[in-house]
Copies of this chain bind each other. A is one copy, B any other.
Amino acid sequence: MYESKGTEFHHAGEPFKGRALLERYGLRATRQRLGLAKLLFGKGDRHLTADALASEAQAARMPASLATVYNVLNLFAQVGLVRGLAIEGGKTVFDTNTSNHSHFFFEDSGAVCDIGPDCARFAEGIEAPEGYEISKVDVVVRLRPKNGGPAVVARHRLGV
């Protein structure tokens, strides 16, 4: 795909330095935050809901309570480590790529994936109303399976 801001936190081969990352953002390095950061930033861009991350943490033997996962994700979003996306009414999806980019949303599976940076131009030419400035631009391209095609294939090809 393309070089995302996420790679700022991870270089192939090198061990993931969660402690350094957290301290760079003025955050205390607690066990839970280190574990969640490793899952979030340890390997490429990710799109996760709070409970999905909690499950992963459970599976990876670095559990954190759901409340803590919410606290940590909200905190990370505040300092700019992740970005919250309101794609489907219910759950908030947290994206480790914090740059202004666009998303495909698969209506059948609920999967979310990045669209290349060429879509950055979306924001070009938009003028904010007087007294305001653009905080960020969210573009979601919603996809549905074409006619009767087996949509599941694309899900695996593109990942979540």
A residues at B contact (CB < 8 Å): 84, 86-89, 92, 102, 104, 106-107, 115, 118-119, 122-123, 125-126, 128-146, 149-151, 153-154, 157-158
Q: Give 8 new A-B contacts, CB below 8 A, not counting A131-B150, A132-B143.
A: A122-B139, A128-B141, A130-B153, A132-B145, A133-B144, A136-B142, A137-B142, A139-B140
Residue of B nearest to A131 (CB): B149
In the bound complex, what is the Cα–Cα distance between A118 and B122 (angstroms)? 11
* Cα separation A150 to B132 with both chains bound (whole Å): 10
Contact of A89 among B84, B140, B149 (CB under 8 A): B84
Contacts of A122 in B (CB 8 A): 122, 139
Which residues does chain B contribute within 8 Å of A134, judged by CB atoms? 141-143
Smallest beta-carbon distance A153→chain B, Å: 6
The 3 closest A-B pairs by CB, nearest first: A132-B143, A131-B149, A135-B142
**Bound Cα distance A34, B84 (Å):** 37
Give the residues in chain B near A135, CB-CB below 8 Å.
Answer: 107, 142-144
